[in-house]
Amino acid sequence: MLLGKIFSTAFESKSTYYNRVFNACIFRLMPDWDNGAIDGTPFKHGNGQMYFVWASPKDGPLSLYIAPMINATMVESPKILLKRPSEPYECHDGCVNEGPYFIFRNGISYCVYSVSTTWTSQYSLAMMSIHADQDPMNVSNWLVPDGPIFSKNDEEGVYTTGHAAFTVSPGDHLFVIRI
């Protein structure tokens, strides 16, 4: 289940090129994180705990990080590296994992995220998932398929896929929204 909070990214100051994650009310979610952050997304896992996943270049390429949330306006420690881009499909003209978006269905938390660089036609969507009874802070619990789930398809006239989000209709039909 996606939490109904609106999150954005804002620059800390004009003199720096890094940014911190802020919520819509500009309360800091992670006051102890000085490593840049974009595309922050909260989610409530099957264990009832809220988590926050974001992209950061902290230890090299833009990678996904995860931390538990104290409440809707504060992220706590530990903050750990969840997924670093390393596969060829994640590294066209630069290695990138960004734009995580969650949906919880049938006892599984699914995270769809963007891979590779935004300025190429190889910008794609990948997915990882974890069962409700497993700890999301244990990286080895996450299942990661061997390739993207949506990508460029010349035969179908799909140039690139970009970011994505999901919604569920009143009839419980899942829709993907490509951005």
CA dihedral for 14, 16, 19, 22, sign (positive or negative): negative
Query: 29 pLDDT exceeds 70?
Result: yes
Query: 20 pLDDT exceeds 60?
Result: no
Within a domain: 38? yes
Residue 163 binned pLDDT confidence (cut-offs 50, 70, 90): confident
Q: What distance in Å separates the CA atoms of residue 123 and residue 160, rounded to the nearest whole number?
A: 6
Residue 127 pLDDT: 93
Residue whose C-alpha is closest to residue 41's, from 5, 70, 12: 5
162 three-class SS? coil
**Gyration radius (Cα) of the chain, Å:** 16
Q: How far from the centroid of its chain's Cα atoms is residue 169's Cα? A: 22
Residue 178 pLDDT: 59
Within a domain: 1? no
Can you give the CATH number for the domain in which 144 is found? 2.115.10.20
Peptide linkage before 145 cis (omega within 30 of 0): no
Q: What distance in Å separates the CA atoms of residue 40 and residue 12, rounded to the nearest whole number?
A: 16
Residue 61 pLDDT: 93
Within a domain: 121? yes
Within a domain: 2? no
* Phi/psi at 85 (5° precision): -65, 125
Residue 115 binned pLDDT confidence (cut-offs 50, 70, 90): very high
Query: 25 pLDDT exceeds 70?
Result: no
When pLDDT is averaged across residues 6-16 and rounded to a whole number, the result is 42
User: What is the tally of structural domains in the chain?
Assistant: 1
pTM, to two decimals: 0.82
- 97-105 and 108-115 strand pairing: antiparallel
Within a domain: 69? yes
Per-residue pLDDT of 102-114, as tens digits, reads 988 889 999 999 9
39 three-class SS? strand
Which domain range does residue 17 map to? 7-178
